[in-house]
Chain A
Amino acid sequence: MLWTTLKRIIKAGFISFWRNGSVSLSAVFVMIIALSMIASTLLITAFLGTTLKDLQDKIDINIYIDTKASESAIMDLKKQLETLPEVKTVVYTSREQVLENFRTRHENDHRIIQALDEIGNNPLPATLAVKAREPSQYVGIANFLSNKSELSTGSTLSIVSKVNYEDNKDSIESLSKLIVGVKKFGSIITAIMIGISILITFNTIRLAIFIARDEIGVMRLVGGSNEYIRGPFVVEGILYGLVSAFLTLILFYPITYWLKNTTQVFYGGVDLLHYFVANFVQIFLIIVLSGIALGAVSSYLAVRKYLTSK
C-alpha cells in the first residue's frame, strides 16, 4: 500500500511537472539563477582560497646563516625551530644551492655572472626559510629568534647573520590583516548569497503553488489526505531542483572556461575551469543536493499554507 501510494505520488509529480510546462519552465529558470549564485559562491570561495593560500605561501622568514657556521650547528638550529608549535616548515638551503639558484635566476645577466665568477669563492650565505602555520605567528617566531642569545644576531655564539623579519614586518602584517578580512568578507557574501537564493526559490515555488490552490481545495474535497496532496508538489519541487541543477552545471563549464582566460590577465591564472573540473563531483553534489533540498522544502512549506485550514 505504501509502495503504491509512493509510486502514485511520484508519477503524479512527474505528470504535473510535464503538463504545467510554462510554470515548470519559469520555476526552473529562476532556480538556475539561485543555484548559479550558490555555484558562483563556491567558485569565488575557491578563488579566494587559492589566492590567499598562494599569498600565504609567499610569506616566510629567511634566516641567513653566517658563512662560517658548521653544517651540524645549522641542523641544530633547524631542529630547534621545528619544535616550535607555530612553525610549519623549515627549509634549509645550503650555500652551494643558494649559489646555484642565484646563477639560474640571473643566467641571462652576464654582468652579474661575470662579477660572481670574479669573486671566485661563494659569497652567499646558507638560508633557513621558516614558514608559520598562520601569518600572525611570524611575530612569535621572530621574537623567539631574537630572544635566544646564541641565535640572535651580533652574539658571538650566533650562527645567524641576519633575519629578514624586520624588513618584511609591515608587509607581513598588512597581508595577514588582508587575509583575515577577505576570509570574513567571503563568509558574509556566502551567507547572503545562500539566503537570497533560498528566498528566490521559495517565492517562485510559492507562486507556482498559489496557481494550484484551487486544485488543492478540490483534492481535499474528494478526500485526499494531506500527505497525498502534498506529495506530488514536493516531487515537482524536487524535479525543478534536479533539472535546474543539471542546467546550472552545464552552464558553468563555458562560464569557467571564459573566466579562466579573463582571470589570467590580472592574476597569475586562477584556473576556475580546472577547479571546476577537478572538483566536479563535489560541486555536482552540492548543487544537485541544494537544488533538491531547496525545491522540496519550498514546496512542502508552500503547500502547507493551503492544507492547514480545514
Chain B
Amino acid sequence: MIYFDSVSKTYPDGTTALDAVTLSVKQGEFVSIVGHSGAGKTTLVKLLLGEDHPTSGSVSFDSVNLKKIKAKDVPKLRRRIGVIFQDFRLLPNKTAYENVAFAMEVAGKSDEEIASDVPHVLELVDLTKKMWNFPRQLSGGELQRVAIARAIVNHPDLIIADEPTGNLDPINTYEIVQILKKINDMGTTVILTTHNKGVVEALGKRVITMDHGRITRDDSMGKYAL
C-alpha cells in the first residue's frame, strides 16, 4: 500500500533528514516508527502527505507516485489519509462537532451524512457531551480525541499519527493508543510515530527504528530498542 523506494531528503540548509530509506507498509498493518528527535520520522510523514517531495527516490501510495500527483489532486489524496498530530491542529473557531464535520464537508459529503456520522464518531471517542465545546474549552486528551474523530470520520485508508501522545499524560496516552488499536482492528492501516517506550511495547506490533535518517531496525513484533 505504501512504498518508499530508497528515499532521501536533504533540506536546503544541508541537513539530511532521510538517507536512502526503503520501506513498505501493507494494507491493515499497524506500524510504529520510533527514533530520537531528528531521526527523520516527521519528514517521513510529510512525504507521505505530499507536503514535501523527496530529493531522490520515490514515495508511492496505492501504486501512485506522489511526486507525479497534480497540485489540485493533493486534497483528494489527503482525504484518504487521516492525520493526527502532537499539537492537535484543530480549527480554534470551530466546535468539536464542526471540526469533525469540516473534514466531511471538504470531502463533499451530504448534510444528512454529516448529521448522522459526526455524532456517531464523537461517541466512539467518548466526546458526546462536549460536542459543542470549542477547542479552548477542552483538555489535551479531549482535543486529541476530537482530532482522532476528525481523522477517522471519512473512513480513510490510512491513519497517520505523528507523536499523538507527546502532549498527553499516561492515562490519556493509554486511551488514545487503545482507540488507534481499535481503528486498526476495523481494518484501517495505522502509522504511528512516537518515542514513548510504553506505547510501543503495549502494542506488540511492527516497529521500525530510525536513527539519523536511516532505518536501523524493522521488527515485526517489535520492542522499543533505543
Contact = CB atoms under 8 A, between A and B. Distances in A.
Contacts of A217: 89
B71 to A, nearest CB: 6
A219 B83 contact: no
A216 to B, nearest CB: 10
Contacts of A226: 72, 75
A134 interface: no
B143 to A, nearest CB: 13
Given A4-B111, A310-B74, A20 B93 contact: yes
B62 interface: no
Interface string A37-79: 0000000000000000000000000000000000000000000
B106 A310 contact: no
Given A4-B110, A310-B51, A224 B75 contact: yes
B106 A221 contact: no
Interface string B54-90: 0000000000000000011011111100010000011
Contacts of A16: 93
B89 A218 contact: yes
B105 interface: yes
A68 to B, nearest CB: 90
B150 interface: yes
B75 A220 contact: yes
B106 A225 contact: yes
Nearest to B79: A223
B202 interface: no
Contact of A224 (B50, B90, B106, B150): B106
B108 interface: yes
A221 B78 contact: yes
Contacts of A215: 91-93
Contact of B78 (A8, A15, A223, A228): A223
B78 A222 contact: yes
A293 to B, nearest CB: 26
B71 A228 contact: no
A1 B108 CA distance: 8
A36 B91 CA distance: 35
Contacts of A15: 93
Contacts of A110: none
Nearest to B110: A4
A4 B112 CA distance: 12
A220 B106 CA distance: 10
A218 B74 contact: no
A169 B90 CA distance: 77
Given A215-B92, A225-B75, A8 B105 contact: yes
Contacts of B76: 223
Given A20-B93, A225-B72, A225-B75, A219 B102 contact: yes
A19 B98 CA distance: 13
A168 B168 CA distance: 91
Interface string A1-39: 100110010000001100110000000000000000000
Given A1-B108, A4-B110, A219 B91 contact: yes
Interface in B95-114: 102-103, 105-108, 110-111
A222 B78 CA distance: 6
Given A1-B108, A310-B51, A221 B89 contact: yes
B49 interface: yes
A224 B99 CA distance: 12
Residue from the set A8, A223, A226 with the largest chain B CB neighbour count within 10 Å: A223
A9 to B, nearest CB: 9
B151 to A, nearest CB: 9
Contacts of B105: 8, 228
Contact of B91 (A1, A218, A225, A228): A218
Q: Most chain-B Cβ atoms within 10 A of its Cβ — which of A15, A217, A224?
A: A224
A222 B92 contact: no
B110 A223 contact: no
A194 to B, nearest CB: 33
B160 to A, nearest CB: 10
Nearest to A215: B91
B106 A228 contact: yes
Interface in A222-237: 222-226, 228
Interface in A104-118: none
A-B pairs, 9 with minimum CB distance = A223-B79, A223-B78, A224-B106, A19-B93, A225-B75, A218-B89, A223-B75, A222-B103, A223-B106
7 contacts: A5-B108, A15-B93, A221-B89, A224-B102, A225-B106, A226-B75, A310-B51
